[in-house]
Chain A
Amino acid sequence: MTDAPLTPRDADDAEAAEYVLGVQSLAERTASAARVKRDPEFAAMVADWENRFEGLNDGFDEAPAPNLLPAIEARLFPKPAKSPSRSGLWRWVSGAVFATAVVLLGLATLVPPKPALVAVLATADARLAYEVRHFGGELQITRVAGVPAVAGRVHELWLIAPGAAPISLGLLDRAELVVDYPRPPEGWTLAVSIEPAGGSPIGSPTGPVILAVEVGAET
């Protein structure tokens, strides 16, 4: 079929459909995923296509899943404090190009009006720094020094429970990121990696870890 080229609007809509179908190559898919995050109109097209294809979902057979809830909950929910094993997380972080981490905790009581400071992620020279605060069921991550990643790359924030796989808390492409999340307990690690625009395509860090900090010390 070699008819007239699509109008720009149709081309956008076709891209949204291709993204939802999943037919694109990894590079195209990564670009579309990034577009979903920065272009609300495109994101709405994608959501429309997800609903349009709803009628095909019956084509997926059910398959009994083992009870993976304990592992999932271990990744998500702070457990009552027990002494964390450090080996798992530091094995994950080690080998990555990473600058020094600074742990700060316990300032909470000194600054009552501000959300409690959970940790600071900073390079040794403090040219790049993120503050992580907790307030009202939200984590607020603010860039207090430095600049976002270069074009085509993005800083992604990860949370790692002791011995568990990292989970993404989101992309640090703006000055502030707010996530609904309980306060991470001591012994958990926050880390920032450099990922392709749109974030890690596979749900775990793929790029170098540039910042890491263990939530530590007594309040």
Chain B
Amino acid sequence: MTDDPVALLIEKCAAQDRAAFRALYRDTSAKLMGVLLRIVRERAEAEDALQEVYTRVWLRAGKYDPAKGRGMTWLIAITRNLAIDRLRARPDATSDDGLDMVQDSAPRAETRLVAMGEARRMADCFDTLEPERADAVRGAYLGGLSYVDLAARHAVPLNTMRTWLRRSLLRLKECLDQ
């Protein structure tokens, strides 16, 4: 836990330490802004969502348990959840804007993954999936793609996509939990 400065700051936030909250914003907002921009794809909305993210972080800090995961992982989970909620709540929720962007940056993401042990295991486990299915999982995680988006992108019926993805996820779990 001492090697997780973000976790430490979140715990201080839980103790109502506002200086820690500012430090947390300083140290993590660029990453969370990156997550929001990638998923909601509009700067004004991303900035609005970023305010909401840190509001939630402050209010929920007491629920964070460093024994259950790293601080940054917790922050990114809150951020992705909000971003995806907003995406799904859009009237044009099936829009396929930004698909190209997701495809372009996915390989770059993976080359960087290899640098870290944890991330390497992830990459190895992705390798056990058919490339197209691994690509679908990544596109959903990083780009916020829905089943509808994925089915269109891979040109398969919605139910086929769902079956594919569910099986792939369970396979991924088996590999990662080994």
Contact = CB atoms under 8 A, between A and B. Distances in A.
Interface of A: 1-3, 6, 10, 13-14, 17-18, 20-26, 29, 47, 49-66, 68-69, 71-73, 75-77, 137, 165, 167, 169, 179-182, 201-203
Interface string B110-138: 10110110111111000000000000011
Contact of A63 (B16, B37, B77): B37
Nearest to A17: B169
B5 interface: no
B142 to A, nearest CB: 5
Contacts of A50: 69, 73-74, 77
A29 B147 CA distance: 12
B10 interface: no
B119 A55 contact: yes
A71 B142 CA distance: 27
13 contacts: A24-B88, A54-B122, A59-B109, A59-B113, A59-B138, A62-B30, A68-B50, A71-B51, A72-B55, A180-B62, A182-B16, A201-B85, A203-B49
B76 A57 contact: yes
Given A59-B110, A69-B25, A21 B89 contact: no
Interface of B: 14, 16, 18, 22, 25, 29-35, 37-38, 47, 49-52, 54-56, 58-59, 61-62, 68-70, 72-74, 76-77, 80-82, 84-89, 93, 105-106, 108-110, 112-113, 115-116, 118-123, 137-138, 140-142, 144-148, 150, 160, 163-167, 169-170, 172-173, 176-177
Nearest to A55: B122
**Interface of chain B: mostly helix, strand, loop or mixed:** helix
A52 B172 contact: yes
A168 B58 CA distance: 12
A57 B72 contact: yes
A180 B142 contact: no
Given A23-B150, A68-B47, A72-B54, A13 B88 contact: no
B33 A52 contact: no
A60 B147 contact: no
Nearest to B121: A55
Please indicate which of the listed interface residues A59, A169, A179 has the most CB atoms of chain B within 10 Å of its own CB. Answer: A59
Given A51-B69, A55-B116, A169-B59, A62 B170 contact: no
Nearest to B165: A23
Given A14-B170, A21-B141, A62 B55 contact: no
Contact of B33 (A10, A63, A75, A77): A63
B130 to A, nearest CB: 10
Contacts of B167: 1, 3
A14 B169 contact: yes
A51 B121 CA distance: 13
Contacts of B18: 73, 77
Contacts of A52: 172-173, 176-177
B116 A58 contact: yes
B147 A69 contact: no
B109 to A, nearest CB: 3
Given A23-B147, A58-B119, 14 more contacts: A17-B169, A20-B77, A26-B89, A54-B73, A55-B121, A56-B109, A56-B113, A59-B105, A63-B30, A64-B30, A64-B33, A65-B50, A202-B85, A202-B86
